[in-house]
Amino acid sequence: MAFIGLEPAAVARALSQIADRPEDRVDAYFERLETVELPPEEDSSRTLAPGLLVRREEGFAVRLVRDGRSWLASRDGLEPASFTDALRQVARVLPTAAYGEPQRAAVDPLPPLSAEETAAVLEMPRLVARAVRSRHAAFPLRLTVARHRRDVQVVSPRLVPGPEREIYYSVAADQPWGRYGALLPELGTAAAERVADALTASFRARQAAPPAADRVPAVLAPAAAAVLLHEAVAHALEADILALGGHPEAAQGVTLGPPELTVLDDPGRSPGETDRATDDEGLAVTRRYLLREGVVEQPLADAAWAERAGTLIPGAGRRGNRNEPPGPRSTCLELAPGEAALSDLLAGAEGGLYVTQVARGRLDALTGRFRLAVPFARRIRGGIAADAVGPFELTGSVAGLLESVAGVGREVETAGAGWCAKGGQKLPVWARTPALFLARVEVRR
């Protein structure tokens, strides 16, 4: 999967020219992206957004990190001359020096989408429509389906890890009663059934009244628990977010939740073709315990934060694109399963809410408060998910939320936790989670 078009050894030599201090970190990040998107069939803006949309891009960035500061130069395309130009732009010493252009290397061309791959994208709306009908529901489906392919290669003066490739899918439905979105490791009948489940449930709850503002017990199904953990654990334990309130390493050893709560990030076990051996800085990923039995163990760190903090481990550096510097982000969250069946969790949450979907989440990094927008839920009565309630927000402080964890389910589901857009860098996030029981959580209309 050689795609960078430049000889990696020559790139590494060129990078070593601008690292003129021992503590300097320099690297080159190359990416090749392809998105194939099928817009909704009944899109009124079709005159502007026709048929199948195909986007292909390639480019790179050269970066120098020194003493809490970084310089990055990115370019579209993969030309030797523009690489040298970017190198010169980042160099702090002798910016007018003559840097030699790295030799060209053979490129594996990006193959066009095969007939099978195209058919899978085109077939998905029909599969979802059929699955919705099988649930005895009917409503107009405005479904956008996209296939995403991302090739990444990082080169540094002392390290040239192998290239990485991610392939995954996204679906989005703009319905009059709300927007639904999901990330999928693969398309097909099982994925269509999952999307149809979610769409049908939201359709049937579309006229339900929101619950009253209150503090209630809540059981979050795996997909909803994934979003909650992404906001309240992963974001809260990113080194740059922790630095807003003090030294990131000071969080290590702090008890944040009950012993039932063990949360990891493991990019190596990300589902389908999204698993990674190295991060977007070319460093090996690890199976990272964010919380082990409720205690903070290893916050998420990229190389720069690991160097600054000393006790943090790198390997969680991710980039939304080549124009942005990497930052500490999660890739695939895992919540260690407990022993409770879903029925046990529901039985313990009488009068509370059973939440299967979260439309979006947000953590206010400065205040430590999170918000989850819930499109609908079900009231728990007699130990079962009963009548539907309409849109509301779950909110609270991270500390308060984690303290209120009262049970963890035993059946784990793998799914996309959704797109994360921290700092404007949009990245897919995955999760393997069971259901989660919160003894008390604040509900806002």
Partner 1 sequence: MSPRPPTRPVPPTGDDDLGRVLLSLESEGFEEVEVYAKSGRSRRYTRFPLGPDRSGHDVATSEEKGWAARAGAGAVSLFYAATGEPRPQRAWPEAMPGALLLPEPVRAAPLEGSGHLDAPMLAEREGLGLLSGIARELESELPGARLSHARLDDGASESRLRSSRGVDACWRLRLAALELEAVGPGGETAHLAASAPHGRALTPGALARRLADQLATAAGQPPERDRGSFLLAPAAAARLVAGLLPLVVGEGAEARAGRLADRAGKLGSELWTVIDDGRFPGAPLASAVDGEGIPTRRQVLIDAGGFRRSLTARRPGAPAAGTGAVRRPSWRHPPTAGPSQLYLAPDAAVSTASLLRDVARGYYLLDAPGPGHFDLVGDTFSLPVRGFRIESGRAERAVAHAELTGAVSALLRGLKAKGRDLSFFPLAGLIGSPSLLLTGLEILPRRAG
Residues at the interface with partner 1 (CB under 8 A): 36, 38-39, 41, 43-59, 68-77, 82, 89, 112-113, 118, 122, 213, 240, 243-247, 308, 323-325, 364, 366-367, 369, 371, 393, 395, 442, 444
CB of 23 to partner 1, least distance (A): 14
CB-side neighbour CA atoms (13 Å) of 124? 30
Would you say 83 or 169 has its CB closer to partner 1? 83
Q: Which residues pair with 31 in a beta bridge?
A: 59, 152
CB of 76 to partner 1, least distance (A): 4
CB of 367 to partner 1, least distance (A): 6
CB of 82 to partner 1, least distance (A): 7
Would you say 255 or 367 has its CB closer to partner 1? 367
Measured CA to CA, the distance from residue 183 to residue 416 in angstroms comes to 5
Measured CA to CA, the distance from residue 107 to residue 20 in angstroms comes to 31
**Pairing between β-strand 436-444 and β-strand 214-220 as defined by DSSP bridges:** antiparallel
Q: How many residues does the chain have?
A: 445
410 three-class SS: coil
CB of 14 to partner 1, least distance (A): 18
What's phi and psi for 113, nearest 5 deg? -55, 130
Would you say 56 or 179 has its CB closer to partner 1? 56
Would you say 122 or 277 has its CB closer to partner 1? 122
Taking CA 418 as the corner, what is the angle to CA 219 and CA 178, rounded to the nearest 5 degrees? Answer: 75
**Locus of tokens 């939201």:** 202
Copy the structure tokens of residue 399: 């500390």
CB of 78 to partner 1, least distance (A): 9
Would you say 55 or 130 has its CB closer to partner 1? 55
CB of 101 to partner 1, least distance (A): 17
The CA–CA distances, whole Å, from 426 to 165, 186, 318, 320, 420 equal 17, 20, 10, 5, 6
Would you say 193 or 324 has its CB closer to partner 1? 324
CB of 408 to partner 1, least distance (A): 26
Terminal-to-terminal C-alpha distance of the chain: 50
CB of 385 to partner 1, least distance (A): 25
Would you say 21 or 56 has its CB closer to partner 1? 56
Would you say 293 or 324 has its CB closer to partner 1? 324
CB of 393 to partner 1, least distance (A): 7
CB of 67 to partner 1, least distance (A): 8
CB of 265 to partner 1, least distance (A): 22
Neighbour count for residue 421 (Cβ, 10 Å): 12
Would you say 130 or 247 has its CB closer to partner 1? 247
**Locus of tokens 């599969």:** 127
- Axis-axis angle for helices 189-204, 115-134 (nearest 10): 40
- Do residues 28 and 61 touch, judged by C-beta distance below 8 A? yes
Ramachandran assignment for 67, one of left (phi > 0), alpha (psi -120 to 50 degrees), beta (any other): left
CB-side neighbour CA atoms (13 Å) of 9? 0
**What residues contact 257, with CB distance under 8 A and at least 6 apart?**
291, 294, 402, 403, 405
Would you say 197 or 307 has its CB closer to partner 1? 307
What's phi and psi for 149, nearest 5 deg? -130, 130
**Pairing between β-strand 332-335 and β-strand 427-433 as defined by DSSP bridges:** parallel
Would you say 275 or 442 has its CB closer to partner 1? 442
CB-side neighbour CA atoms (13 Å) of 222? 22
Would you say 84 or 323 has its CB closer to partner 1? 323
Measured CA to CA, the distance from residue 55 to residue 106 in angstroms comes to 23
Strand order in the sheet with 164-175: 25-38, 143-155, 164-175, 178-184
